Chain A
Amino acid sequence: MSTAPSQHPAILRTEEVTKTYRSGAVAVHALRGVDFALYPHEVVALLGASGSGKSTLLNILGGLDCPTSGRIFFRDRELTDLGDDDLTEFRRAHVGFVFQFYNLVPSLTARENVALVTEVAKNPMRPEEALEQVGLSGRMDHFPSELSGGEQQRVSIARAIAKRPEILLCDEPTGALDSKTGITVLDALIEVNRNLGTATALITHNAEIRRIADRVVYMADGRITHVEENAARVPPSEVSW
């Protein structure tokens, strides 16, 4: 299902966002004025070399970090100057995260890691349902240490989507996985996007993966260099790297 971006108003939008880090005595300009929009139902791939600003942008979109200048909107609501508590509420209600290193709580089983989120969400699905969506019905009572990397990443996807978020932000979800396992993880993501209509932004520096997205945003040196629209999304199973 591919929806043209312009048909709906953007769910997340940035205007001229910059981000400067102080790293010791050096100022690092991670973002140098980024205008970006994420639309409902779409899958966007963020592509770029290491240090191009992808993760910084994703963190700012997800309310984990604040821009140095510029503005950011969630629908019509401006997030730019929100305090830590409001950003927490924003993440809690609307955003799911998937990271390269899974970020699972080692002391909780797969089911419990998902329940961690469903316990605090407003209208969540059951943990079992979320795990089913990522094809892990059989491994629900396993601890992270008993799961393979791909399985752990799928648990983290289940955990991210269990609260039915409108936005799913994935930072190199397949970065730590071999290609075969990576494909199962991408399948899970696409499946969720199809079933729930979650707007998904996906960071990768694997050029092949861009083919599964509706749009590809190329970044370099803290800026968006160009945006590409894919006429049709390719199923993950047809991608290889």
Chain B
Amino acid sequence: MRMLDRKLVRDLRHIWVQCLAIALVLGCGIMVLILSTGTQRSLEATRKSYYEENRFADVFAPLTRAPRGLLTEIARIDGVARVEGRVVFTAMIDLEGRPEPASAIVISLPPDGRPVLNVPALRRGRMPRPNHPDEVAISEAFAEANRLRPGDRFQAVLNGQMRPLVIAGVVISPEFIYTVGSGAFEPDDENFGLFWMNETPAAAAMDLSGAFNDLTLTLAHGADERAVIAGVDRLLAPYGGTGAYGRDRQPSNVFIEGELKQLGTMATVLPPIFLLVSAVLVNMVLGRLVSLDRAQIGLFKALGYRSGTIAAHYTKMTLGIGLVGVLLGWGFGWWLGDELTEIYTRYFRFPSLHYRPGTAPIAISGVLGMAAAVLGGLRAVRAATALSPAAAMSPAAPPVYRRGWLDRLGGLAHLRQTTMMILRSLTRWPGRAAVTLFGVSGSVTVLVASFFTFDAIDLILEDLFERANRQDATVTLARPVNERAQIDALALPGVLVAEGIYAAPVRLVNGTRSRLVSLQGREPDARLSRLLDADGAAVQVPQTGLALAAGLAEALGAQPGDRLRVELLSAPRGTWEIPVTAVIRQSLGQDAYMNREAFFRLIGQAPQVNMIHLAINHNDLAALQAKVQETPAIARFALWSDIRRQFEDTLDESLVTMTVIFASLGMLITIGVVYNAARIHLAERAYELVSLRVLGFRRGEVAYVLVAEQMLLTLIAVPLGWLAGYGFCTLMAEGFSTEVVSIPVLVTRRTYATAALIVILTALASVLIVRRRLDRVDIVSALKQKE
């Protein structure tokens, strides 16, 4: 080994803790990059091949009823590749040993049993055989949650008719990779399932023989989706089409898109912070090493070593730090990516989902990591090569201090001299102080952003379950009925309050922007399910005009006062111009609201309801559920306590894991920055500090100079981090919001305080570790070293 390399190894051994701290920060950046882009690519690639192999449709269109002959006409629309008409409806499932019924979406299989589009993938058993009307294939998630196997039998209420069914097979479908029942926000595999059954019995149950009520199609290469959708809508309008939509509105696909977007946000927002901080740390530590090596550098040059050789020597050190960081990042990134993918497999039903990051993210992250380390060291390396041998071998000039504003401040405030030492050190080396400020505030930023997730979720939950939806249960009716039904509902066991709602599919159009949403007609004095204003206070649905969820208003570019074209996609169909009169706060789902009476007055019909919110006496729940099960008019019965539990279970698992990871990353930055800053401080000023010990200063008093400087910087960094953190949360809320979920930007005091506390304690622990070194410095030998 060459002598310089031997020196390198020994130097590294001497400052390995500092180097490791930097490598860890760097590794975090690499890890997040590998984790997010790797998972994103795995998810994307798996989805792509699944969609292709199982022929996931491009356009979806629900309708009331159309004759099968219409399908040939639709196939003739320019740009349509393949068309399939199905019978799709909701059924209630009665499983043995379960008090409340589950609900399911039933999807018909063509007579030959082979769907052209959205082909289910068989997991167990076999597909229902043609001519076996009682056979069904059920979705895997529902089968697993209810421990159902091929051969098991159960009862289902199909359009009010009780029917015995037998499970032929268990399947998954590209249409339902992520399944959420109507009215729910999170997957509820136990209470919501999917059934595929032969067309003949399905059509017979719904009185749709020779007809279909659901259309899916694929587009020809290069086809214009908007034009096709317009064509489909035109053809389906007479048959109760509620508006065709593309993959960008298909619920399962939208959810996966959202997840991909979030991974993308994570990959672009977080790693730069870590890479930047590690570059700055390399600069700091290597700069220190070069100034320590000053005499040696002079000697090497005097001995005839070229500047390039010396530059290479120090660059190797940065490469070493970079390499360790990159390897750590790859390792942990791969491991976490595997774990995250594992979590995804529980929510996303793919034929197989494996973490396959691909070579590009690995290569790119490797290059970025090494570049951060090398670029970080550049200034120090340049300083090493710029030294002339003669100047290098003479000791560096002592630091020059000047009087200034600080002295007036010190005089006025009667500061102790040890405090003055701290303040002068900060003003003498502002760059160094800036590094610590930058790093620690970065740490606070990451923590605020991590805990903000909880704030957002809390607010969403509070809005959803405490402010907006105070009902205990919601009943979805099989078809709209006269509004008197809400009075009838009061007769059900245990029902205390009943509030009817009419939800209709509409397309809202504002200029060139349009959205397919649910328009809810509500009573103005509704007490169970309420609308919220921007501050979260309950507001009445306006007497006239539309109230839009803020996210929807933004998507449409609409403000109060604007008039929207409202296309009603259910009977009696028609188009009206309605002004927007209010924008409300709604985090989950993006709906439009109207006064029910005003709505029906507008469309010229007698008021109806198709959903009823209930406040119930929980003692009568069992009786209520039994009654619901035998009432054919009720398509679905959902308990809000179940919805909430499901919601919280899902969140707990993934969110807590991610938050713990990011909080640890945030803490690592503080450790890396404060530990290194304190080590350098100690190394440079050990002699000065020991002199204080000679003068009779106690250990604590001397340590004050070391500890207080770092803690002062930490305290200054905290509010800076709060500010940056808030900005960061805004970015995150934007990045994580999807068409379905709008993340509120609200950072609580609890988040700011927790982030600050963690950073302050972490900084204190880091500097106290260095303080132990100070305590161990032997006075006599330290004084000798100077000589």
- A residues 114-136 near B (Cβ < 8 Å) are 115-117, 119-120
Q: Is there an interface contact between B696 and A91, defined as CB atoms closer than 8 Å? A: yes
Q: Is there an interface contact between B779 and A120, defined as CB atoms closer than 8 Å? A: no
Q: Does A69 interact with chain B (Cβ within 8 Å)?
A: no
A97: which B residues are within 8 A, CB to CB?
Answer: 694-695
Contact pick for B417, options A62, A85, A89, A119, CB 8 Å = A119
Q: Does B69 interact with chain A (Cβ within 8 Å)?
A: no
A62: which B residues are within 8 A, CB to CB?
Answer: 694
- B residues 685-722 near A (Cβ < 8 Å) are 687-688, 691-699, 701
Q: Does B428 interact with chain A (Cβ within 8 Å)?
A: yes
Q: Is there an interface contact between A105 and B696, defined as CB atoms closer than 8 Å? A: no
Q: Does A237 interact with chain B (Cβ within 8 Å)?
A: no
Q: Is there an interface contact between A88 and B699, defined as CB atoms closer than 8 Å? A: yes
Q: Does B420 interact with chain A (Cβ within 8 Å)?
A: yes
Q: Is there an interface contact between B417 and A144, defined as CB atoms closer than 8 Å? A: no
Q: Is there an interface contact between A91 and B695, defined as CB atoms closer than 8 Å? A: yes
- If the complex has contacts A119-B416, A120-B697, A159-B695, are A106 and B401 also in contact, measured as CB distance less than 8 A? yes
- Cα A97 to Cα B694 with chains together (Å): 7
Q: Is there an interface contact between A92 and B421, defined as CB atoms closer than 8 Å? A: no
Closest residue on chain A to residue B783 by CB atoms: A99
Q: Does B786 interact with chain A (Cβ within 8 Å)?
A: yes
- If the complex has contacts A85-B698, A112-B420, A120-B697, are A105 and B691 also in contact, measured as CB distance less than 8 A? yes
Distance in Å: Cβ of B49 to nearest Cβ of chain A: 66
B417: which A residues are within 8 A, CB to CB?
Answer: 105, 108, 112-113, 115-116, 119
- Cα A97 to Cα B779 with chains together (Å): 13
Q: Does A93 interact with chain B (Cβ within 8 Å)?
A: yes
Closest residue on chain B to residue A159 by CB atoms: B695
- If the complex has contacts A107-B421, A120-B696, are A145 and B688 also in contact, measured as CB distance less than 8 A? no
- If the complex has contacts A106-B688, A116-B418, A141-B403, are A88 and B398 also in contact, measured as CB distance less than 8 A? no
Distance in Å: Cβ of B700 to nearest Cβ of chain A: 10
Q: Is there an interface contact between A117 and B424, defined as CB atoms closer than 8 Å? A: no
Q: Does A181 interact with chain B (Cβ within 8 Å)?
A: no
Q: Does B399 interact with chain A (Cβ within 8 Å)?
A: yes
Distance in Å: Cβ of B291 to nearest Cβ of chain A: 15
- Cα A202 to Cα B121 with chains together (Å): 95
Interface residue total, chain B, C-beta cutoff 8 A: 31
- If the complex has contacts A59-B780, A106-B398, A106-B399, are A116 and B692 also in contact, measured as CB distance less than 8 A? yes
Closest residue on chain B to residue A116 by CB atoms: B417
Contact pick for A116, options B399, B428, B695, B779, CB 8 Å = B695
Closest residue on chain A to residue B695 by CB atoms: A117
- Cα A107 to Cα B398 with chains together (Å): 10
Q: Is there an interface contact between B780 and A103, defined as CB atoms closer than 8 Å? A: no
B691: which A residues are within 8 A, CB to CB?
Answer: 103, 105
- Cα A59 to Cα B694 with chains together (Å): 10
- A residues 20-66 near B (Cβ < 8 Å) are 59, 62, 64-65
Q: Does B1 interact with chain A (Cβ within 8 Å)?
A: no
B265: which A residues are within 8 A, CB to CB?
Answer: none
Contact pick for A108, options B420, B699, B783, CB 8 Å = B420
- Cα A84 to Cα B428 with chains together (Å): 33
Interface residue total, chain A, C-beta cutoff 8 A: 34
- Cα A117 to Cα B692 with chains together (Å): 9
- Cα A108 to Cα B425 with chains together (Å): 10
Closest residue on chain A to residue B701 by CB atoms: A120
Report A80-104 CB contacts with B as 1/0, cut-off 8 Å.
Answer: 0000110011011101010111010
- Cα A228 to Cα B424 with chains together (Å): 48
Q: Does B96 interact with chain A (Cβ within 8 Å)?
A: no
Q: Does A74 interact with chain B (Cβ within 8 Å)?
A: no
Q: Does B400 interact with chain A (Cβ within 8 Å)?
A: yes
Q: Is there an interface contact between A95 and B696, defined as CB atoms closer than 8 Å? A: yes
Contact pick for A145, options B398, B420, B421, B687, CB 8 Å = B398
Q: Does B652 interact with chain A (Cβ within 8 Å)?
A: no
Interface centre among A92, A95, A103 (most CB of B within 10 A): A103
Q: Is there an interface contact between A64 and B400, defined as CB atoms closer than 8 Å? A: no
B701: which A residues are within 8 A, CB to CB?
Answer: 120
Contact pick for B779, options A64, A95, A107, CB 8 Å = A64
A100: which B residues are within 8 A, CB to CB?
Answer: 787
Q: Does A73 interact with chain B (Cβ within 8 Å)?
A: no
- Cα A8 to Cα B694 with chains together (Å): 28
Closest residue on chain B to residue A160 by CB atoms: B695
B697: which A residues are within 8 A, CB to CB?
Answer: 88, 92, 120
Q: Is there an interface contact between B695 and A107, defined as CB atoms closer than 8 Å? A: no
Distance in Å: Cβ of A102 to nearest Cβ of chain B: 9
- If the complex has contacts A106-B399, A145-B398, are A64 and B694 also in contact, measured as CB distance less than 8 A? yes
Distance in Å: Cβ of B427 to nearest Cβ of chain A: 9
Report B285-324 CB contacts with A as 1/0, cut-off 8 Å.
Answer: 0000000000000000000000000000000000000000
- B residues 194-213 near A (Cβ < 8 Å) are none
A141: which B residues are within 8 A, CB to CB?
Answer: 403
- Cα A100 to Cα B48 with chains together (Å): 78
- Cα A64 to Cα B780 with chains together (Å): 7
- A residues 124-160 near B (Cβ < 8 Å) are 141, 143-145, 159
A107: which B residues are within 8 A, CB to CB?
Answer: 399, 401, 420-421, 424-425, 428
Q: Is there an interface contact between A65 and B696, defined as CB atoms closer than 8 Å? A: no
Report B770-787 CB contacts with A as 1/0, cut-off 8 Å.
Answer: 000000000110010011
B693: which A residues are within 8 A, CB to CB?
Answer: 88
Q: Is there an interface contact between A145 and B399, defined as CB atoms closer than 8 Å? A: yes
A144: which B residues are within 8 A, CB to CB?
Answer: 398
- Cα A91 to Cα B424 with chains together (Å): 27
Report B424-451 CB contacts with A as 1/0, cut-off 8 Å.
Answer: 1100100000000000000000000000
Closest A-B pairs by Cβ, 6 of them? A92-B696, A107-B424, A91-B696, A116-B417, A103-B691, A143-B401
Apart from A106-B399, A116-B417, A159-B695, what 5 extra A-B contacts exist at CB < 8 Å? A85-B698, A92-B695, A117-B695, A119-B417, A145-B399
> Hey, which bits of chain A sit against chain B, CB under 8 A?
59, 62, 64-65, 84-85, 88-89, 91-93, 95, 97, 99-101, 103, 105-109, 112-113, 115-117, 119-120, 141, 143-145, 159
> Hey, which bits of chain B sit against chain A, CB under 8 A?
398-403, 416-418, 420-421, 424-425, 428, 687-688, 691-699, 701, 779-780, 783, 786-787
- Can you list 30 A-B contacts with CB-CB less than 8 angstroms, sorted by A residue number? A59-B780, A62-B694, A65-B779, A88-B697, A88-B698, A88-B699, A91-B694, A92-B695, A92-B698, A93-B696, A105-B417, A105-B421, A105-B692, A106-B399, A106-B688, A107-B401, A108-B420, A108-B421, A115-B417, A116-B418, A116-B692, A117-B695, A119-B416, A119-B417, A120-B696, A143-B401, A143-B403, A145-B398, A145-B399, A145-B401
